[in-house]
Amino acid sequence: MKTLKLITAIAITAILGFTSCQSEESIQTGTNPNANSSTSPTASNFERAAMNDGSEDDFLDGSACTELLFPLSATINGKNITILSKLDFSAALNILGEFNDDNDTVAFNFPINVRLSNYTEVTVNSQSELDALKSECESAEAQGRDAISCIDFKFPITMLTYNVSLEQTGSVVIQSEKQLYTFMSGLNSDVLFTANYPISATLSNGTEIQINSDAELQDSISDCVQFEDEKDEAADAALEVEAILSGAKFTVDSYIVAGVNTANDYVNYTIEFTNDLKLIAKDIVNSTTGEIEGTYTVSSETEVFLNTTFASNTAVSALGNDWVVNTYSSTLVSLKSKTDASVTLTFKKI
């Protein structure tokens, strides 16, 4: 689902920063029966897509409605860390990802400064204040006022303005998301607008598009929002798969290559997925055989992936692959090769 950003109750009563973009030369005469009001779906689409994106630090504050401002310090899983820039996010992620079956905790050393979805910067003095902002964020989502972050416009964008008689009164050249948000959120009821199409944009799946009308804008947003929803569903499923695997032992229930089931090749082995992302293959029949170690990771896009790796030239090397998770339950995880759908593997929990 799309990233959430907070729409606060602060009213913006004037459009700031645009007077230098408007001149006598930019004003064109004419009428436009398709001009949009401040309450139109097009106005909402542009405004929500232009909100400040606070999603990059969600693993710390749990809310895309707040962008953490630097410097700040926090205690993460009992370890103190100072974050001076986004470059320090990797250190925080390493602490959080050390084990996949623990309860991660992030305790900020308040006060901290955050930037809200409307670009306002505020000081947060306690966890309760931060929780209140998160609650407002969840309310915005429930009411359909959450941000649309799956589309990035390419600037400049020109907005043509009209009066209620549909006569053009001017034009505004917008150079950034913040200016676009300010323009849309500051529109008066007696001002209408239309975008001077075409507009170029990039979707969250990397596709670059050209938008030629309000209808195409709506279609593009609907498509990319659906893509984001699928990504969120897959991310939730990935967490479930990782929880099933972590700290558990499995046997190879089936391993099919080109229609041939070779599970008997692994009948003597158990495969343990440890909570620190390691694999341990153990021969339960021949105790003199040493353990074979490997690694695993669970990830997702619009599907759930499991990567397994064992050292080459071992009895279980063939089980190492980039897998797509087909189905899963509390006792079975069924996989197919990412590159060859004829190769499938099913792990059964002991």
Q: What is the pLDDT of residues 3-27, one digit of tens each?
A: 333 333 333 333 334 433 433 333 3
8 Å CB contact between 194 and 36: yes
- The total of structural domains in the chain comes to 2
Q: What is the pLDDT of residues 176-230, one digit of tens each?
A: 999 999 999 999 999 999 999 999 999 998 999 999 999 999 999 999 999 999 9
Q: Is 6 domain-assigned?
A: yes
Domain boundary among 180, 197, 230: 230
Please indicate, yes or no, whether residues 23 and 79 belong to a single structural domain of this protein: yes
How far are the Cα atoms of 251, 336, 342, 345 from residue 258, in angstroms, in the given order? 21, 12, 5, 12
Residue-range definition of the domain harbouring residue 173: 1-230
Please indicate, yes or no, whether residues 332 and 219 belong to a single structural domain of this protein: no
Q: Identify the CATH number of the domain in which residue 265 sits.
A: 2.40.128.270
Give the contacts of 258 (CB within 8 A, at least 6 positions apart). Answer: 342, 343
Q: Is 238 domain-assigned?
A: no
Q: What is the pLDDT of residues 273-316, one digit of tens each?
A: 999 999 999 999 998 888 999 999 999 999 999 999 999 999 99
Please indicate, yes or no, whether residues 144 and 268 belong to a single structural domain of this protein: no
pTM: 0.82
Please indicate, yes or no, whether residues 72 and 136 belong to a single structural domain of this protein: yes
Q: Is 240 domain-assigned?
A: no
Please identify which residue in the block is written with the tokens 């505004």: 172
